[in-house]
Amino acid sequence: MSRIETLAVHAGREDFAELGVHAPPIDLSTTYPVRDLDEGTASFDALVGGAASAGNSIYARLHNPTVDRVEKAIARLEGTEACVGYGSGMAALTAMLMDARSRGGHVLVVRPLYGTSDHLLASGLCGIEAEFVDAGEIALRKRADTALVIIETPANPTLDLVDIRAVVAAAGHVPVLVDSTFATPVLQNPAELGAAYVMHSATKFLGGHGDVIAGVVCCSEERAKPLRVVRAATGALMHPLGAYLLHRGLATLALRVERAQANAEDIARRLAAHPAVAKVFYPGLGTTRNAHLVGEQMRGPGALMAFEMAEGYGAAAAVMAHVGLITPAVSLGSVDSLIQHPSGLTHRVVSEAAKTATGITPGLLRLSVGIEAVDDIWADLDQAMRRAGMSQVA
Ligand SMILES: *Cc1c(COP(=O)(O)O)cnc(C)c1O
């Protein structure tokens, strides 16, 4: 039972026959009775020290069975020993940075990144020193106190790909964190390529229905322990109801990603031929950095793309105003198509210099293609661009 389509449906459900259930139980307890004090203290010590589970869960900030279940499922999908769940993708990254701080505090980062990740790193909020470098400079910029290398591939919002194997080789003994949110475990497994940590904003494709905010870090059991310690100490928990919905969403992950990707390949081709569009950034068209990694590190080009409106900001804003079926909103990886303006919204917190250097221009739109009928998505996009053209002329 190792194929992703099967794992997505069955992982984290191995004990159902024994429990006599057909859907994951939801445990909303905040606290758990301790009748055997010796067992209670031993469990407390184990959980505070970062153990995945113990005889008694003690308190929900230390352990929750429903969260534990979806963590096990996602670890199976990524092929890692462990997975640690958080209340959001940003809480997951924060825990990673607090851990990095305790191991040295210097972090090498390759741009572009999700806007808030960039902001968290650049702001120094977590007490780490982030140095932004090109992927090719990592070996050169590594220091004795470098605790982590962070990359995002495909990167948000330009869809640039980063060669994970090359970065891992350059990082040497320094662990590499790959934000693999855009790829999902269906299209890419960074741990197989040597990444020590695989992060997902589970809010996106893993949940898949736009109703859960959650984050995960997948890694070895040894690396997971300090991440659980940070989670327990800071309270950055995934809620069990969110964990349940996330687990429910996982069942259709492979189907959703395949369908959304097939739609995206079609939409990207049509956009590239549209007179209102100056350029489409999509790995499947070969128009992003390292697009040759599709078919190697990535099993497919994914369901996200960005495109530059020939008439700039005004045209991009008009498309946002005129889409109907497609929701003009931030976020991505939902069953429905979403379009947004990186420069004005998700990447607003990124410095102007970094925006310019990474191609986040005023005319750029990012499209997360959903699983609707592709002709309906296209018809909506086409009418929005037509009306954008008219409102430009008027
Ligand atoms: C959304 C996102 C995040 C942040 O996740 P939240 O769940 O919104 O906190 C981090 N990285 C990427 C690539 C994202 O798309």
For the chain, domain boundaries: 253-393
Check if 179 is active-site.
yes
Segment holding 263, helix H or strand E: helix 253-272
Give residue 369 CA to ligand 1 midpoint distance, Å: 17
Instruction: State the CB neighbour count (10 A cutoff) for residue 150.
Output: 25
Give residue 338 CA to ligand 1 midpoint distance, Å: 15
Instruction: Check whether 392 has a pLDDT greater than 70.
Output: no
pLDDT at 357: 83
pLDDT at 61: 97
Instruction: Check whether 111 has a pLDDT greater than 70.
Output: yes
Q: Give the model confidence (pLDDT) of 350-391 as tens digits.
A: 888 888 888 889 999 999 999 999 999 999 999 999 998 876
Q: Give the integer Cα–Cα distance in Å for 139 and 171.
A: 6
Please provide the DSSP assignment of 17-58 as one string: HHHT-SS------SB----SHHHHHHHHHHHHTT-S--S---
Check if 86 is active-site.
no
**Mean pLDDT of the 341-350 span:** 87
Q: Which residue is catalytic, options 59, 61, 141, 387? A: 61
Q: Give the integer Cα–Cα distance in Å for 176 and 170.
A: 10
Q: Which CATH number fits domain 253-393: 3.90.1150.10, 1.25.40.10, 3.40.50.2000, 3.40.190.10?
A: 3.90.1150.10
Minimal-distance CA residue to ligand 1 atom 8:
89
Q: What is the CA radius of gyration of the chain?
A: 21
**Sign of torsion over alpha carbons 135, 89, 210, 7:** positive
Instruction: Check whether 50 has a pLDDT greater than 90.
Output: yes
Q: Give the model confidence (pLDDT) of 132-189 as tens digits.
A: 999 999 999 999 999 999 999 999 888 999 999 999 999 999 999 999 999 999 999 9
Cβ atoms of 293 and 163 within 8 Å: the answer is yes
Minimal-distance CA residue to ligand 1 atom 4:
89
Q: Give the integer Cα–Cα distance in Å for 244 and 265.
A: 31
Check if 114 is active-site.
yes
How many CA atoms lie within 13 Å of 185's alpha carbon, on the beta-carbon side? 31
Check if 204 is active-site.
yes
Phi, psi of 309 (to 5 degrees): -75, 130
Minimal-distance CA residue to ligand 1 atom 1:
201
Minimal-distance CA residue to ligand 1 atom 7:
89
Sheet harboring 106-110: ordered strands across? 82-86, 215-219, 197-201, 176-179, 146-152, 106-110, 129-133
Cβ atoms of 230 and 269 within 8 Å: the answer is no
Tokens representing 386 are: 């037509």
Q: What is the best residue among 93, 94, 181, 338 to mutate for testing ligand 1's pocket, by most ligand atoms within 8 Å of CB?
A: 181
Q: What is the best residue among 74, 109, 117, 151 to mutate for testing ligand 1's pocket, by most ligand atoms within 8 Å of CB?
A: 117
Give residue 201 CA to ligand 1 midpoint distance, Å: 4
Average pLDDT score over the chain: 95
Classify residue 138 as left (phi > 0), alpha (psi -120 to 50) or beta.
alpha
Q: Give the integer Cα–Cα distance in Å for 236 and 283.
A: 34
Q: Give the model confidence (pLDDT) of 229-265 as tens digits.
A: 999 999 999 999 999 999 999 999 999 999 999 999 9
pLDDT at 1: 52
pLDDT at 391: 67
Atom of ligand 1 minimally distant from the CA of 213: 7
Q: Which residue is catalytic, options 27, 99, 114, 380? A: 114
Give residue 340 CA to ligand 1 midpoint distance, Å: 15
